[in-house]
Amino acid sequence: MIKSHLWCALGATVFTLVTVSANAALFSRLGGQAAYDDVLNITWTTNAALSGADTWNNQVAWASNLDYLGFDDWRLASMSVAAGLPTGTTAAPIDCRTATELACRDNELGYMFYQNLGGSFGDNLQGNHTVGDVTLISVLNGYWSGTDGGPPGGVGGWLIGFSNGSVAANPKSN
């Protein structure tokens, strides 16, 4: 099973949503340690390997207790914003491989892979990436989302593989 890592999204910080085109843009924040997504209206850490591999429950707890860059309202990125934050439940997140850009906005991790990084299914996007004036460092193989694979309290959590763009519900104990 994939040992998953975390990529946090700062959800509660208020920013103005500015959409200048259909394509997402990332803007450097906090001295290059964070990246603001102007379409999703969230902020990502630019260090994509901020936490180590752990279980879904431990990653959710880690993110909710994180105090980083002067902010303490971090959460795991969602794979179904419509299902609720920070840990909504869905049986099937939006598949950003086939969804429109607008529909893909509901899946923050899918949006990062397919829209911000311009990935296609099968692309290996591990490593460092520059998007505009932002450098994302140490993008790893897999990331847990904050989205439960359902039913609430069940055994699965949704994750994405940045080694190929695949999405799966994995046992939370992995």
Confidence of residue 51 (pLDDT cuts 50, 70, 90): confident
**pLDDT number for residue 173:** 84
**pLDDT number for residue 130:** 95
Question: Which amino acid, 48?
Answer: A
Domain boundaries, the chain: 8-13+25-171
**CA atoms within 13 A of residue 117's CA, in its CB half-sphere:** 28
Alpha helix (H) residue ranges in the chain: 56-65, 101-104, 108-111
- What confidence tens digit (pLDDT) does each residue in 116-162 have? 999 999 999 999 999 999 999 999 999 999 998 876 667 789 999 99
Confidence of residue 84 (pLDDT cuts 50, 70, 90): confident
- What confidence tens digit (pLDDT) does each residue in 19-40 have? 333 466 899 999 999 999 999 9
106-129 core/surface letters (b: 16 or more CB in 10 A; e: else): bbbbbbbbbbbbebeeeeebbeeb
| Whole-structure pTM value | 0.82
